[in-house]
């Protein structure tokens, strides 16, 4: 585990700390011809070896450097295809982490992977998944008739309400699992403060009731899910 942690730390340092915005722009413009691309992968080799502090790991550092080069080059050429630029970014990071994992556990890769899956808490995974998008869809169905009666006179970010609800339910579930019920009250208070201006400016009883009902249903779903998880 320590080997993977050091490899991951080296990745974080080089990819996010030592890489400037100017270098990223230069790589995106010049792609494989960018000098910063080669400096970047060399830094991965150097920082990895520095953190490992053991010359016997040079093969691992070399594999990481070479794989990082090809993954980054592929990302540079594929990114323009995507409308959402965050998709290739996350794919790129996932592939880098996969390489680090394979390098850290190459001696018993299959056995270690099986062990990880066996140790997964499937009850927790199910609870987390349920309070995210499934709960959001359930809420939209429950509030569908009410939402048609609400007139929105201001613009908001696309799907912002859905993602806010997902995040708040995840927090509520976390607080219940950690047995910090009082934090749920603080979360409700914080949300009320942020919503106060919207409700004050709109001066709409329907909107106030709609937000209140939605909030209570959202928190209720998360609380019930948390209680079921604890009892399981």
pLDDT digits (tens, 9 = 90+) for 168-189: 999 999 999 999 999 998 888 8
Give residue limits of the domains in the chain.
Answer: 2-118, 122-231
3-state secondary structure string across 160-219: HHHHHHHHHHHHHHHHHHCCCCHHHHHHHHHHHHHHHHHHHHHCCHHHHHHHHHHHHHHH
H-helix or E-strand containing 5? Answer: helix 2-12
Task: For residues 152-166, give the mean pLDDT.
Answer: 77
Reply yes or no on whether the pLDDT at 18 is more than 60. Answer: yes
Confidence tier at 97 by pLDDT (50, 70, 90): very high
Residue 72 to residue 40: CA distance in whole angstroms = 10
Phi-psi category of 159—alpha, beta or left, where left has phi over 0 and alpha has psi -120 to 50? left
Q: What are phi and psi of 156, to 5 degrees?
A: -140, 165
Supply φ then ψ for residue 53, to 5 degrees: 55, 45
- Take residue 2 and report the two structure tokens written for it: 């320590």
Quickly count: other Cβ atoms within 10 Å of residue 48's Cβ.
27
Cα dist. 185→122, 182, 195 in Å? 28, 5, 15
Question: Which backbone phi and psi does 54 adopt, to 5 degrees?
Answer: -155, 115
Residue pLDDT, tens place only, 25-54: 999 999 999 999 999 999 999 999 999 999
pTM of the full structure:
0.81
User: Cα separation of 3 and 51, whole Å?
Assistant: 10
- The chain-wide mean pLDDT, for the chain, equals 90
For residues 208 and 202, the model is more confident at 208
Split at pLDDT 50, 70, 90, the class of 155 is: low
The alpha carbon of residue 67 and the mean position of all alpha carbons in its chain are separated, in whole angstroms, by 23
The conformational region for residue 213 under phi > 0 = left, psi -120 to 50 = alpha, else beta, is alpha
Amino acid 2: pLDDT: 93
Judged against a pLDDT cut of 60, whether residue 137 lies above it is answered with yes
> pLDDT at position 203, please?
54
Tokens describing residue 171: 């927090």
Output 194 or 104, whichever has higher pLDDT.
104
pLDDT at 153: 55
N-to-C CA span, the chain: 30
The whole-angstrom distance between residue 53's C-alpha and the CA centroid of its chain comes to 31
Q: Is the pLDDT of residue 107 over 90?
A: no
């Amino acid at each position: 585990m320590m080997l993977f942690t050091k490899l991951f730390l080296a990745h974080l340092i080089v990819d996010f700390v030592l890489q400037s915005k100017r270098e990223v722009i230069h790589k995106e413009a010049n792609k494989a011809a960018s000098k910063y691309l080669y400096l970047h992968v060399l830094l991965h080799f150097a920082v990895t070896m520095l953190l490992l502090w053991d010359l016997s790991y040079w093969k691992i550092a070399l594999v990481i450097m070479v794989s990082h080069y090809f993954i980054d080059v592929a990302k540079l050429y594929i990114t323009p295809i995507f409308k959402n630029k965050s998709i290739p970014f996350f794919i790129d990071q996932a592939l880098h982490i996969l390489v680090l994992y394979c390098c850290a556990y190459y001696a018993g890769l299959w056995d270690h992977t099986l062990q990880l899956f066996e140790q997964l808490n499937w009850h927790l995974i199910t609870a987390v998944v349920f309070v995210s998008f499934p709960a959001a869809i359930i809420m939209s169905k429950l509030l569908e008739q009410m939402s048609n009666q609400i007139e929105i006179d201001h613009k908001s970010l696309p799907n912002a309400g859905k993602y806010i609800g997902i995040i708040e339910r995840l927090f509520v579930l976390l607080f219940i699992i950690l047995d910090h019920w009082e934090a749920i009250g603080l979360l409700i208070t914080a949300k009320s403060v942020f919503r106060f201006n919207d409700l004050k400016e709109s001066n709409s009883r329907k909107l106030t009731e709609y937000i209140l009902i939605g909030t209570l249903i959202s928190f209720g779903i998360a609380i019930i899910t948390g209680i079921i998880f604890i009892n399981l």
